[in-house]
Each structure stands twice: as C-alpha cells, then as structure tokens.
C-alpha cells in the first residue's frame, strides 16, 4: 500500500449510515502486511439475499469460483475478505484454502458453508494460509457491529492510497432504504463485469433474482466503463447484499427488477456504483490526472465504447496526458486502431473543451499556449467526434506516470 495519498482523492468522506441487518469487523491476520488490518468479516441477518458479478478472466481466482457456485442459492450469512494474497493461480491448495476459510467462518457465525461468500485480493500465485483465519474469524463474529464501513474499506486495500466508500438513500413505496458500498482497486483495472473488489449493502427487501438484474445492469456504465491499465484482474468481484430489514418499516418486498417501485432505488444504486468506480479511477497507481473520455458520433454505443476504451488504454495517450501534452496525434492513432468505423476526414478532437483537431487536421484556430494551460487541470476531458452517427459513450481512466512503473516493478518484493 502506498503511503502518499493520491492528489485526486476526494476532499471529504461521506457519513456512512449503518445498514440494518449488517455487522462488520476487521482484524490483522498477518496475511502479508504487517501492522495493518487485512481481513474483513461481514455478518448478515437471516433472510439476506445476495447477487454478484465477477471477472470474465479465463484464469479466475479460487474465491471467484467459490462465489459463483454459491450464488445460485441466493442467500448469505457472512462475507470474508482478505487483502495481501489473491489466492489466484494456486491450484488445489487454493481450493482447499477457500473451503477451510468458509468452514472456519461458518462455525464462527453459526451457519452453513453454503451461506459464506469469499473474496481475496493481492499477490497472484502465492498459496494462502487459511489457518491464519482460525480464531480470528470467531473473534470478529463476536465483535462485529453496525456501521464501520470506513474500517471495512481500509481492510481490503492493497496499493490503494485511500479507502473508497459511497452511500445514497431512496424510497421503495413510502419507506426510505439505504444503499452503502465500499470498493478497492488501483491497478490491474479493466473490469469486465465487476471491479477488483466492491461490496454493496442495502436494507431493501429485494429477492436475489431481481437484485442480480439490478447489479448486472448497474455495472455497464460504471465499473465496466473504467480502466487504469487495460488489465482485467483474476479476482474481480462485485457483490450486493439486501437484508430486507426495511420490510419491517413498511417497504414492499420486491421480486421483479422491472417493478416500477424500484425506479428511485435503481437510480440510487447507479449513483453509488458510479461514485465508487470514479474513486477507483482517481486512485490509479501513480495517477496525477483523472481522464474522462467521451466519444460521440459513432455508429453505435458499442462502437463508441470500444473506441473510448482504445483511447483510454493507450500508453501513448496516457503518457502524453501525464506530460500535459494535448497530443491529438496519439488520439487519432487510438481511434484508428480500435477496429471500429471511423473517417479520418470527419474526425474532431477536444481537450478540456478546446477543439485541437477538426475534419482530419489541426484546428485552424489552435493556440498552443491556451491548450497548455488547460492541460494543467487535474481533470482532463477528452472528447472525440466521429461524425458518423448517433452512438456515444463515456469512460474514465487516468494518466500513466513513472510511479506506476515503480509501484508495479517491485509489487511482489
């Protein structure tokens, strides 16, 4: 974990209200880091439903495989998360570690192992010693309290420089419900159905199938529209938990994602997911610039997304932005290599609202001094107009600095 907080970190942390039916606790288990919390236990009341989306990597971690198998049941009593070791590419020992962790957690909470969900983040390829959870999880189960979301977010950090939390409220019927979430992620970020690790908690009474649809839809323009370095993790896990506690206050039980009473909830969930995913972009390893890329005039939204991601994942574009250089030539390159419809002679490019290229050439009114001043802004808005159709999309990324190389050059040591 880096000691210097990202200059792009949020200037304030929201008050995180407790979510009824959820208790949290953290501890130092000595997984990899010394003198810092590295394990989180979330304990849920009976009746809590769960939904999840995971990495599409063909080399998923053992905890991802465990969660996929347990998700079919739709119910949960506890979540165990550790940082420092991803328990990925660990073969039979990795599967044995997940089974032992779940067994220890189930005994600590007093439930079936099928109601335990797991997530791990950190170094890939190192065996995880699950015996370190023995005794620790029992103590955590006894100490767990409502609230404590900030502590939970700190416990799951690896190279993150700040804990990531977000919250929102909505009404289902006439009853207020809370949605709170935490996330971690700073490198190896190019989510494909999830982010590195993120957990969403609500007291809304929503059945697992409906919650699954809400979550699946919610990641499309939030976590799946963020990239740090173009590398999709083996461990990407996004889980949502709904305790249903608000039913006792009059909230109607929701069984279908299409229920019109979910309109405000869906909007609030999207707000939380968008907030957390932007915080991930702001904490990109070594980042000094938050970069918003908008592509307009594409032949479709899908095409716009692919072009935007091609730009966002280009090391040449990202290093130019790090150097505060509005190098539109590199943007043109990234558009051209995306494999999507594009016409050089219709292409226009803007940096922070200043058009630098138009109709396939440098803008006639280009002013180097004006653009250089704009590029010093900590947030860079890069817009591309293709002039081909109505398709548009937006993604977030960050610049690529020397610090990214330094962080990843000695990550395992």
Tens-place pLDDT, residues 70-92: 999 999 999 999 999 999 999 99
Q: What is the pLDDT of residue 214?
A: 98
**Residue 9 covered by a domain:** no
Residues 132 and 225 in one domain: yes
* Mean pLDDT value of segment 140-148: 97
383 and 243 in a common domain: no
Residues 238, 109 within the same domain = yes
User: Does the pLDDT at position 2 exceed 60?
Assistant: no
Last residue of a domain, one of 215, 249, 282: 282
**143 and 47 within one domain:** yes
Q: Is 255 in the same domain as 328?
A: no
Rounded to whole angstroms, what are the CA distances from 99 to 28, 63, 113, 393?
Answer: 21, 9, 8, 41
pLDDT, tens digit, for every residue of 264-294?
999 999 999 999 999 999 998 889 999 999 9
The reply to whether 167 and 311 lie within a common domain is no
- 207 and 231 share a domain? yes
Same domain, residue pair 99 and 205: yes
Domains: count for the chain:
2
Write the CATH number for 404. 3.10.20.340
Looking at the predicted structure, is the pLDDT value of residue 1 above 60?
no
Which pLDDT score, from 0 to 100, does residue 384 have?
A: 98
Active site residue 195: yes
Q: Annotated binding residues for substrate, as ranges?
A: 158, 184, 195, 285, 408, 413
Domain co-membership, 83 together with 66: yes
Residue 379 lies in a domain: yes
- Cα distance between residue 218 and residue 249, in whole Å: 26
Q: Is residue 14 part of a domain?
A: no
Same domain, 93 and 60: yes
The model's pLDDT over 232-254, given as tens digits with 9 standing for 90+, comes to 888 999 999 999 999 999 999 99
- Expressed as residue numbers, the domain containing 345 is 290-409
Catalytic residue among 195, 222, 232, 243: 195
Does residue 341 sit within a domain? yes
Q: Are residues 85 and 184 in the same domain?
A: yes
Tell me, what CATH number does 272's domain have?
3.60.70.12
pLDDT in tens, 190-214: 777 666 899 999 999 999 999 999 9
Mean pLDDT over all residues of the chain? 95
71 lies in the same domain as 173: yes
pLDDT at 194: 64
pLDDT at 188: 78
Rounded to two decimals, the pTM is 0.94
């Amino acid at each position: 974990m880096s000691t210097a907080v990202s200059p792009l970190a949020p200037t304030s942390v929201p008050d995180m209200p407790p979510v009824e039916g959820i208790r949290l606790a953290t501890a130092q288990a000595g997984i990899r880091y010394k003198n810092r919390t590295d394990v989180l236990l979330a304990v849920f009341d009976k009746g809590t439903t769960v939904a999840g989306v995971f990495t599409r990597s063909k080399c998923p971690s053992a905890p991802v495989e465990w969660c996929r198998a347990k998700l079919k049941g739709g119910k949960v009593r506890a979540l165990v998360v550790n940082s420092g070791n991803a328990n990925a590419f660990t073969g039979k020992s990795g599967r044995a570690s997940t089974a032992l962790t779940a067994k220890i957690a189930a005994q600590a909470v007093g439930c079936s192992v099928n109601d335990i969900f797991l997530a791990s983040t950190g170094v890939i390829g190192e065996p995880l010693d699950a015996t370190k959870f023995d005794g620790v999880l029992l103590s955590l189960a006894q100490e767990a309290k409502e609230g404590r979301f900030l502590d939970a977010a700190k416990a799951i950090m690896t190279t993150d420089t700040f804990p990531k939390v977000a919250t929102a409220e909505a009404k289902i019927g006439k009853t207020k419900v809370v949605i709170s979430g935490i996330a971690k992620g700073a490198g190896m970020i190019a989510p494909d159905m999830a982010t590195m690790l993120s957990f969403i908690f609500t007291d809304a009474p929503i059945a697992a199938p409906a919650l699954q649809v809400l979550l699946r839809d919610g990641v499309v323009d939030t976590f799946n529209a963020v990239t740090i370095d173009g590398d999709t993790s083996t461990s990407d896990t996004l889980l949502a938990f709904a305790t249903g506690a608000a039913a006792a206050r009059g909230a109607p039980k929701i069984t279908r994602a299409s229920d019109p009473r979910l309109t405000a909830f869906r909007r609030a969930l999207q707000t939380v997911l968008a907030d957390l995913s932007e915080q991930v972009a702001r904490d990109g390893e070594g980042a000094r610039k938050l970069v918003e890329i908008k592509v307009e005039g594409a032949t479709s939204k899908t095409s716009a997304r692919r072009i935007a991601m091609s730009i966002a994942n280009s090391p040449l574009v990202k290093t130019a932005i790090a150097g505060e250089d509005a190098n539109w030539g590199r943007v043109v390159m990234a558009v051209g290599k995306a494999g999507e419809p594009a016409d050089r002679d219709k292409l226009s490019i803007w940096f922070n609202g200043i058009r630098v290229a138009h109709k396939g050439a440098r803008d006639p009114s280009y002013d180097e001094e004006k653009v250089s001043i704009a590029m010093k802004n900590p947030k860079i808005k890069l817009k591309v107009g293709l002039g081909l159709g109505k398709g548009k999309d937006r993604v977030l990324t960050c610049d690529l600095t020397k610090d990214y190389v330094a962080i990843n050059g000695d990550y395992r040591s």
